[in-house]
């Protein structure tokens, strides 16, 4: 039985923060915490930073003043200050939370933020695993420069459920991609994270190529906080064999070579098919 999710309404001090992510000037996260509880989530460090006693995935702080932290409606000086700060910059929504996780259905903070961002001249990237994003197609189309990235690492629903226990289904994410694309929103399929032996990235591309404008690829990283969860999933598939292989071939001495070659395989595959792509591998 999953633990209940503790939802707390808070007033935050800031919502847009400078970023060191390549190609991203700022990140924007209207929630602290993420109910999807992915076993590989690097954002689990937020639990310690925010001093939450609950496990990652079991708490969500809702930044009730999210929209006003960008600028207040009707506040000309606030809008001018926001423009001076963010115009011409890139903003990524959803770097340490999912901006369309279930609570967004009730609080509509992401929708409120999109309304505010419309009056700025930013390049916006929205990253999500949720089909709730299609609710805001009207606003996404009104952004000057906007891309929606749906992240997915599996086609197998059962495996997806074990890796991302509370995230929306594979089929709903594929349907969301189609709906966004057909509406005219620029789409990315963010194949992330790539699990060696488990992520069928070529099949994911083949399955979606008609509705995706660009592919992003990111490899799985093993963090001290995520190792046990990932090991448990791999052990449940194939005893300890895969975990031993992970520690040796993919994350041990040979790991760097494996990921360099994988990067090359992906780049060659995409180039041969004229597929726009970006590879965000760290190894």
Residue 88 exposed, middle or buried by CB count within 10 Å (0-12, 13-18, 19+):
exposed
Residue 149 or 266 with smaller CB distance to ligand SF4: 149
Phi and psi of 96, rounded to 5°? -130, 25
Name the residue among 7, 26, 136 with its Cα closest to residue 64.
7
User: Do residues 168 and 131 make contact, with C-beta atoms less than 8 angstroms apart?
Assistant: yes
To ligand SF4, the closest distance from the beta carbon of 96 in angstroms equals: 6
Within 13 A of 164's CA, how many CA atoms are on the CB side?
24
To ligand SF4, the closest distance from the beta carbon of 29 in angstroms equals: 9
Residue 124 or 127 with smaller CB distance to ligand SF4: 127
To ligand SF4, the closest distance from the beta carbon of 56 in angstroms equals: 7
What is the sign, positive or negative, of the torsion defined by CA atoms of 131, 188, 175, 264? Answer: negative
User: Do residues 223 and 171 make contact, with C-beta atoms less than 8 angstroms apart?
Assistant: no
Residue 230 or 270 with smaller CB distance to ligand SF4: 230
Distance separating alpha carbons of residues 251 and 196, to the nearest angstrom: 10
Residues contributing to the site for ligand SF4 (CB under 6 A): 34, 36-38, 41, 43, 96-98, 129, 164, 167
Distance separating alpha carbons of residues 89 and 190, to the nearest angstrom: 21
Residue 61 or 98 with smaller CB distance to ligand SF4: 98
Residue 38 or 180 with smaller CB distance to ligand SF4: 38
Residue 136 or 164 with smaller CB distance to ligand SF4: 164
- Assign 3-class secondary structure to 240-258: EHHHHHHHHHHCCCCHHHH
To ligand SF4, the closest distance from the beta carbon of 181 in angstroms equals: 21
To ligand SF4, the closest distance from the beta carbon of 167 in angstroms equals: 6
Residue 71 or 217 with smaller CB distance to ligand SF4: 217
Distance separating alpha carbons of residues 233 and 13, to the nearest angstrom: 38
To ligand SF4, the closest distance from the beta carbon of 267 in angstroms equals: 24
To ligand SF4, the closest distance from the beta carbon of 35 in angstroms equals: 8
């Amino acid at each position: 039985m999953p633990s209940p999710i503790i939802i707390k309404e808070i007033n935050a001090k800031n919502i847009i923060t400078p970023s060191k992510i390549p190609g991203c000037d700022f990140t924007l996260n209207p929630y602290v915490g993420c109910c999807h509880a992915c076993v590989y989530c690097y954002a689990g460090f937020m639990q310690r930073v925010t001093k939450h006693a609950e496990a990652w995935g079991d708490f969500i702080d809702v930044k009730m003043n999210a929209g006003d932290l960008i600028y207040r409606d009707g506040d000309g000086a606030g809008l001018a200050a926001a423009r001076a700060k963010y115009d011409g910059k890139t903003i990524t929504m959803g770097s340490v939370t999912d901006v369309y996780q279930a609570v967004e259905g009730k609080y509509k903070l992401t929708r409120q933020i999109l309304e505010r961002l419309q009056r700025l001249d930013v390049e916006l990237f929205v990253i999500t695993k949720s089909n709730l994003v299609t609710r805001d197609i009207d606003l996404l189309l009104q952004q000057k420069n906007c891309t929606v990235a749906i992240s997915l690492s599996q086609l197998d629903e059962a495996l997806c459920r074990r890796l991302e226990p509370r995230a929306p289904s594979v089929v709903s994410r594929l349907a969301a991609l189609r709906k966004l694309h057909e509406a005219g929103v620029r789409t990315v399929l963010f194949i992330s994270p790539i699990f060696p032996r488990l992520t069928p990235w070529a099949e994911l591309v083949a399955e979606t190529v008609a509705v995706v404008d660009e592919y992003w690829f990111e490899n799985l990283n093993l963090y001290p906080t995520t190792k046990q969860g990932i090991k448990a999933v791999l052990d449940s598939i194939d005893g300890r064999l895969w975990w031993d292989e992970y520690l040796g071939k993919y994350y041990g001495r040979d790991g760097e070579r494996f990921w360099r070659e994988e990067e090359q395989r992906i780049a060659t595959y995409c180039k041969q098919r004229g597929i726009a792509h970006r590879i965000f591998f760290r190894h």
